[in-house]
Amino acid sequence: MKTFQFVMPLRVDGRRLTGRRLTGFVLLLQTVLVVAGQPLPKTDKLTDTGDFSAQMVSGIHRFLAARTARARSERERFWDRDFTSTAAYAESVEANRERFREAIGAVDPRLPVKSLEYRHTTREPALVAETKRFSVYAVRWPVFQGVHGEGLLLEPKGNCHASVVALPDAGQTPEMITGLASGLDPEHQFARHLANVGCRVVIPTLVNRRDTWSGNKDLNEFTNQPHREWIYRQAFEMGRHIIGYEVQKIQAAIDWLESKSKGNHSIGVIGYAEGGLLGFYAAAIDQRVDATLVSGYFQNRQGLWREPIYRNVFGLLSEFGDAEIATLIAPRALVIEHSPAPTIDGPPPARN
């Protein structure tokens, strides 16, 4: 049985190595290999044992924990508040407000909202429900190119005393806080209570934590990432954020409420849990909000890394904890309601 050996001609910089050139190259390669086996000056060979990946993660954790702790004591260097007057204060924090706006990605030019679009079909009218004091409509409104806000409008039948954007948690629906769907006790249906006392209420539908659409139908590839994380991961690459998108939905709703009220009454934002975060952030960047109520969200954010990844805002804690964000709302009214927040254990269980 014959044995055949195939030798590929060796080339360096496009030239074939033969004779002396090939011998020289082999000697050089041998020298490099010998030297590579020796420690560099002032170094030792790596003799440690164990799981290097775990050691690396542990080291990164120690570094980031120390930097997070240090950030809180260094935040004041970003601020130069002027308390001599309301106007002077607003001007002194404007640069911080703009940096916060950019950090959450709420930077796209919004489309004008001349009116809300009533959503109806031949089977389902836009009028969803009606009481003696208010009517409930299914609506949507433009935000920016390719993006709409949608949800419910609660329109009082008598005089309108205030305009409010009401924001449920991401695990709730506008119908739940209006009392049109089960899931919340009557005392927690805050949108219904606001409408009952004569407030015009817009309730945006938030991107939820389910995973129904987290994938690509054409490729038949899906993940169990919550919808908020699915959008967060893609938006991050473009300098955008799920938080910024939702905040701009709120701002677009405020655009309409402002035009509807014509300056005759106040505009407020109220939110619970994820909705509390969004209402809090929206009020911080939009000075048209006269009063804000945050429930089930405001706290020390030094443990932000324990929260869902879709709340991660690049560089946030260097300049902004919740207390600093609150100073972007001041001197406008801000009410912090202490209440239990929903437990978010992680993504939905993986499915086939």
pLDDT of residue 219: 92
Residues of the chain with pLDDT under 70: 1-27, 29-37
* Digit-coded pLDDT (tens) for 336-349: 999 999 998 889 99
* HSE value, Cβ hemisphere, 13 Å, CA-based, for 88: 6
How far is Cα 80 from Cα 83, in angstroms, rounded to an integer? 10
pLDDT of residue 16: 58
How far is Cα 205 from Cα 220, in angstroms, rounded to an integer? 27
Instruction: At 14, list the tokens.
Output: 């496009």
pLDDT of residue 27: 67
Instruction: At 256, list the tokens.
Output: 């309409």
pLDDT of residue 39: 75
pLDDT of residue 37: 64
Cβ–Cβ under 8 Å, residues 262 and 303: no
The DSSP 8-state label assigned to residue 48 in this structure reads -
Cα–Cα–Cα angle for 114, 283, 285, rounded to 5 degrees: 85
